[in-house]
Amino acid sequence: MPRIVDAQERADEILGAAIKILSEGGFARLTLSNLAKELGGSIRLVTHYFRNREELIHGIVERLTRETDVILDELRSLDDPRERLRRALAWFLLGDLQDTREESVRLALRDHQGDPAVDEFFDVVEPSMRRVLRVALAGDETTEVRESDVDLLRIWTSGIALNAIERPALWTIEHQERALDHLLQVFTSH
């Protein structure tokens, strides 16, 4: 009897493998053939869910958007402004291999802007990250916040992620959390 496969689980498995390939090998390595090898199956396994690389990147965007929606819901439920900001910034830290891979995708795609699927990635992901920071600062999406504060926090989150990717032995999760504590101390003292 054939094994029953949950379509969403299988699609997420394929996207996870695509994220792994992108983070470890870059854009050029993200092929249907390499993805099938990574999954231990045939290309048809992949093309049943994603017909081409563009659909894979679109799927990654949707996956990251779902993750963003989860943190936004969590932030909206927090009344304490400092805790809300702490939780949002902690979400950007690279605490495990999956976090590192997802952030590495952004780095792998940056040199391929101009490709419509890659442009979609940046057109969706960057505003989503900024939205998380706005909600962290205001508690909702209707209250105005200073864009310079959002800029400062976005630069910090990007910078700490890049450092954690480039120098993981130095920028451990504990080091990242100490930097977060210091940022909160400085940012909330004014």
Residue 61: helix, strand or coil by DSSP? helix
**Rounded Cα–Cα distance for residues 47 and 138 (Å):** 42
What is the reported pLDDT for 189?
79
What is the reported pLDDT for 1?
53
Residue 115: helix, strand or coil by DSSP? strand
What is the reported pLDDT for 3?
65
Give start and end residues of each alpha helix (H) in the chain.
7-25, 32-39, 43-47, 53-76, 81-92, 97-109, 116-138, 147-166, 173-187
What is the reported pLDDT for 117?
92
What is the reported pLDDT for 2?
57
Q: What is the pLDDT of residues 116-169, one digit of tens each?
A: 999 999 999 999 999 999 999 998 888 999 999 999 999 999 999 999 999 999
**Rounded Cα–Cα distance for residues 64 and 127 (Å):** 12
What is the reported pLDDT for 190?
63
Query: Residue 27 is encoded by which pair of tokens?
Result: 């854009």
Low-confidence ranges of the chain (pLDDT < 50): none
Please give the model's pTM, rounded to 2 decimal places.
0.90
- Report the greatest alpha carbon distance in the chain: 65
